[in-house]
Chain A
Amino acid sequence: MNIYDQVSWNKTKSYIIIFIFIIFISSLGIFLGWLYGSYILGFIVFTIAAVIYSIIAWIEGSNIILKATGAREVTKAEYPHLFHAIEGLSIAAAIPIPKAYVIDDESLNAFATGKDPKNASITVTTGLLKKLNRQELEGVVAHEMSHIKNYDIRIMLFSVVMIGMTILLSHIILRSFLFSDRDRENNNFTIIIIVVGIILAVLAPFIAELMKLAISRKREYLADANGALLTRNPEGLASALEKISEKSELKKADKATAHLFIASPLKAKSFFSNLFSTHPPIDDRIKKLRSM
């Protein structure tokens, strides 16, 4: 696949994610509506809500992500070398200059977000700025720049916003079922159990499908390779990854945004980081870069 195929495939994937999400919410509306008497009303209300949510995600998604990760926009006077790296690599990649954001955290990590290269930003931690030299910083920025150029950022944006909401909703349904007051009539309660069972059965494949689209370990390898092509210096990123692997866990990280980052920001021992490991082993990435 060349870069143009990648871009158009990534765009298509983004639309599929939105589409599956709206279908999922609509069917949820039908079931809930059915439970409360009018499935048509449920369908209409939930579909409208899903469409509005998607529009908000499209317009405000990257700002929501930046807020959630605690990133703040910085000026050139504050971090001139970060700006130089970003400006230089946007020239090399021939895309508009992304905005620069910083997370105040001693750990080393970075991510890019936005819906397209014109509306993109690159975020790095202050720890990363402190510990990496120029070549290493350029390596990391180049990795993020290729995520932007490829439209990986669009898929990742929608997967964060849509999958986040999907998982949240399924949790709410599950919890409200588990903790619903059981003093109600026995007969009524049985119906609820059946309905919740059906809803969860419908839900599971949707979530699985969304996950499959969004999570691709290949994406990280590809961004490493394209990044190395931009700097013409694979060693920069390789030695940056070495430093990052020593301390990449962020204070303010959650599983919804974890797969945006260059290295997993979650605690290595956490159950989720193993189960939904979105990042290929960092040693392997370093080895691949060094063999270029």
Chain B
Amino acid sequence: MIGLIIGITVGVIILGGIFLYNSVIRLKNQVDNSWAQIDVQLKRRFDLIPNLIETVKGYAKHEKEVLTNVTKARTEFLSAKTIEDKAKADNQLNETLKSLFAVSENYPDLKANQNFLQLQEELAGTESKIAYARQLYNDTVMEFNTKIETFPNNFFASMFKFTQRQLFETDKEERKNIKVQF
């Protein structure tokens, strides 16, 4: 009789453990997946910038400083490895792009250029996609972190070495700043 009770108890614990483990894994995959979404969009913006610089150069040769800043921010972004660094580099890239678009206001010919307008729309679109991807990522990370912190998951979490994930945080103002008019 006692053997039976022990057997059932152990069985329930093991089953519960499997269930919890799987649900944490599912969330962890969601976190990874939503991070991939951000990465895709960041890369997309990264690829758009050389084109943008070429176009702007043709009309606004004198704005060397702004252009070099963008290039520099882009290179820095390339060397960013951790999530925190990437968020920081992304922020900086935003700032420089913002000043580039501000400067371009002074060049009517540039503003009328079809290629430039296309790039501007493309960058604005990518920017909002980055924001949405970040939102999804941060929501999933929150859920994941809460899950592995609460009882009894915290017990399994340390056993399977699940660690807290980092949020992708940026300047709160940034979404407003990059608002490119069309």
Chain B residues within 8 Å of A134, by CB? 124, 128, 179, 182
* Contact status A91-B122, CB under 8 Å: no
The interface on chain B, measured as residues whose beta carbon lies within 8 A of the other chain's beta carbons, has a size of: 18
Given contacts A80-B118, A80-B121, A81-B182, contact A88 B128 (CB under 8 A): yes
B121 to chain A, nearest CB (A): 5
> Which of the residues B125, B133, B136 comes within 8 Å of A84, measured between beta carbons?
B125
Judge whether A89 and B132 touch: CB under 8 Å. Answer: yes
Q: Give the nearest-CB partner of B180 in chain A.
A: A134
**Chain B neighbourhood of A230, CB < 8 A:** 132
- What 1/0 flags go to B35-61 for Cβ under 8 Å of A? 001000100000000000000000000
Residues from chain A with a CB closer than 8 A to the CB of B124 are: 81, 84, 134
A252 within 8 A of B: no
> Which one of B128, B133, B135 contacts A138 once the chains associate, using CB atoms below 8 Å?
B128
How far, in whole Å, are A91 and B121 apart by their CA atoms in the complex? 18
Tell me the minimal C-beta distance from A219 to chain B in angstroms: 24
Q: Which secondary structure dominates chain A's binding surface?
A: helix
B28 within 8 A of A: no
Chain A residues within an 8 Å CB radius of B34: 94
Q: Is the CB of B128 within 8 A of A80?
A: no
Once the chains bind, are B125 and A91 in contact (CB under 8 Å)?
A: no
Q: Which residues of B contact A88 (CB under 8 A)?
A: 125, 128-129, 131-132
A 134-162 binary contact with B (CB < 8 Å = 1; else 0): 10001000000000000000000000000
Give Cα A81 to B126, complex, Å.
10
A91-B37 in contact (CB<8A): yes
Task: Encode A76-92 as 1/0 by CB contact (under 8 A) with B.
Answer: 00001101110111011
Question: Interface size of A by Cβ–Cβ distance < 8 Å?
Answer: 15
The reply on A217 being an interface residue by CB < 8 A is: no
Task: Say whether A91 contacts B136, CB under 8 Å.
Answer: yes
A232 at the A/B interface (Cβ < 8 Å)? Answer: yes
Q: How far is the CA of A232 from the CA of B136 in the complex (A)?
A: 12
Q: Is the CB of A84 within 8 A of B129?
A: yes
* Alpha-carbon distance between A81 and B179 when the two chains are bound, in angstroms: 13
Cβ contacts A197-220/B at 8 Å (1 or 0 each): 000000000000000000000000
A92 CA to B129 CA, complexed, in Å: 8
Give B118's nearest chain A residue, CB to CB. A80
Taking the nearest CB of chain A, how far is it from the CB of B47, in angstroms? 16
Decide: B121 and A84 in contact? CB cutoff 8 A. Answer: yes
For residue A243, give the distance in angstroms from its CB to the closest CB of chain B: 17
Whether the pair B179, A92 counts as a contact (CB closer than 8 A) is no
Which of B34, B122, B136: most chain A CB closer than 10 A?
B136
Across the interface, name the chain A residue whose C-beta is closest to B30: A94
Minimum C-beta distance from A52 to chain B (A): 40
Ranked nearest first, the 6 interchain pairs of A and B with the lowest CB-CB distance are A84-B125, A92-B132, A88-B129, A88-B132, A91-B132, A88-B128
B residues bordering A, Cβ < 8 Å? 34, 37, 41, 118, 121-122, 124-126, 128-129, 131-133, 135-136, 179, 182
